[in-house]
Amino acid sequence: MKRNRILLAEDKDDVRLAFQEGLESCGFAVASAPSVSEALRLIATENFDVLLSDLYIPDASDGFTVVNAMRHAQPNAVTLVLSNYPVFQAVMTAILLQADQVLVKPIGFSEIAEIIQKKLSNPTAHTAVNKERVAAILEHDLQLTIQNWMSRVEHTEELTAISLTYQDRTGHLPLLLSDLVCRLRLPPDAKSPISRAAREHGILRRQQGYTVPMVVEESRILQVSIFNTLQNNLGSVDFGTVLLDVMTIADEVDSQLKQAMLGFLETAAAKSAR
């Protein structure tokens, strides 16, 4: 007789082992994931009847990420969320939009098994959501990403010490983000192009009076703003490719920072040689 498969997402080793043994003793086949990345990998590569995910692994948004991934990739799987305590209503509401039920710990394995069996016996139809690649999301939310970046910069005293117009402050961003989108659309084994826009940005920032730490801080804020855009689009992101895309984003932003610093330092060297 085929056993129903459960994906258990829990970062605490002792809790994960206890739940796995308890659920297996109730007749389920259990695959466990100690992290969000491992949970997303399993969701993308294997089929499950049930997801049982802790809400905090280790942050509040992590459980939501796993739930969304399962709902998009395997919409008919029973999706349950575990919480140590009743969480804020806003988080609960967000989770319940995708999860079938939130279970508050402590809860016994037999009780969980009973809930799972009832839901498997009376499945709820879920409609798969249209998925988007990260490149498409960044493309259509370009201005929102720039606005988020600008908002963060305006609250960074180090950067606002130099007075610039909105255009002078943000003019490089459409070019850098366009280079990023192009990189995301390349085959995984393709050679990564060097961002000319990033080098020119470094030259400009040197002329505007920036310091090296200021250029680095701008780059850090850009990466945060990009990931904020993805967070705001969790409902439509393609979780089958998101891990590779996130790694590509981190690598491209670092590469662009390197080019900006090369331009910055070249300008400084030329000025010293005069």
Residue-wise pLDDT tens digits, 79-114: 998 877 554 444 455 455 577 888 877 888 999 999
Residues of the domain holding 66: 5-121
Contact 248, 183 (CB under 8 A): yes
Tell me, yes or no, whether 93 and 144 share the same domain.
Answer: no
Contact 22, 107 (CB under 8 A): no
Please compute Rg for the chain using Cα positions: 23
Question: How many distinct structural domains can be found in the chain?
Answer: 2
Q: Kindly tell me the number of DSSP H helices and DSSP E strands found in the chain.
A: 13, 5
Tell me, yes or no, whether 251 and 142 share the same domain.
Answer: yes
Burial of 252 per CB tally in 10 Å (0-12, 13-18, 19+)? buried
Tell me, yes or no, whether 193 and 247 share the same domain.
Answer: yes
Q: Which two tokens stand for residue 265?
A: 């330092």
Tell me, yes or no, whether 17 and 87 share the same domain.
Answer: yes
What is the distance, to the nearest Å, from the Cα of residue 59 to the centroid of all Cα atoms in its chain? 12
Contact 23, 8 (CB under 8 A): yes
Beta bridge partners of 103: 82
pLDDT in tens, the chain (274 residues): 678 999 999 999 999 999 999 999 999 999 999 998 999 999 999 999 999 998 888 765 677 788 888 888 888 899 998 877 554 444 455 455 577 888 877 888 999 999 999 999 987 766 555 678 999 999 999 999 999 999 999 999 999 999 999 999 999 999 999 999 999 999 878 888 999 999 999 999 999 999 999 999 999 999 999 998 988 887 677 766 777 888 899 999 999 999 999 999 986 666 655 5
The confidence score (pLDDT) of residue 154 equals 96
Beta bridge partners of 78: 50
Q: Cβ contacts of residue 176 below 8 Å, gap of 6+?
A: 195, 197, 198, 201, 222, 256
The last residue of one of the domains, among 121, 147, 169, is 121
Give me the amino acid identity at 269. A
On whether residue 146 sits in a domain, the answer given is yes
- CATH code of the domain in which 147 resides: 1.10.490
pLDDT digits (tens, 9 = 90+) for 40-89: 999 999 999 999 998 888 765 677 788 888 888 888 899 998 877 554 44
